[in-house]
Amino acid sequence: MSAVSGIGSTTTTTDTTSTAGTGLQGNKDEFLKLFMAQLQHQDPLNPTSGADMVSQLAQFGAVEQAQQANQQLSEISASQQSAASAQLANLVGRDCEVAVGDVSLTATGTPPPISLTSDQPMAGAVVVVTDADGKEIRRFTVPAGTSATVQWDGTDANGQRVAAGDYHIDVQPGTSAGTITAQWSGVVDAVELTSDGPRLRMGGILVTPADVRTIGTNQTAGVFPQGDSQ
């Protein structure tokens, strides 16, 4: 009868460590099956030593503890995400300013206006809308001055409504000497829980909560009955 090499050998120990490092692909049941297979097929003339068995059992315990820790961390993460999403509900109805950049366009609705400001008069600045592939969809010339408003209505250069999806808004300064700040300005209509995380719906766009720069007053304050929180 041929001998089966011990699970606690250098090669197998290295494999177990590697597997644990890549997400614990082997579970405790598989480890236990390998351990029992070793006991059943070991060379009776050269059995596994007690020290090797203790070492293998210690590895088994470490795998089980790591799996439990991963499960607990996943539960904690899910709980924190749920609490954070609930807190975002406080933004609904508020007038907010959100940094312009990546944005998701919904199937209906019009994006809020883009407010541009600069510490020096803007000259030759343009706002460029590109799709997820980097293709230019629309281009707007920014009026000269220290402040201006640009309105993208969700259409392309031919006036056709573009498909819902991800887009990028870029502000090219032209010959402007100052720093230009561009922000969406509008009321948060809802919080949507997407596969990419929570998003705030403002008119016809979905924006990332991390891009919110200013939170204004609650525009729906007057519709709550007396005594309700706002």
Tens place of pLDDT per residue across the chain (230 aa) = 444 444 343 334 444 444 444 444 456 667 677 777 777 777 776 766 666 666 766 776 676 777 777 777 766 665 555 556 567 778 888 888 999 999 999 998 889 999 999 999 999 999 999 999 999 999 999 999 999 999 999 999 999 999 999 999 999 999 999 999 999 988 998 888 888 888 999 989 999 888 988 888 776 655 444 444 44
Task: Tell me which residue of 87, 86, 11, 1 sits closest to 43, measured CA to CA.
Answer: 1
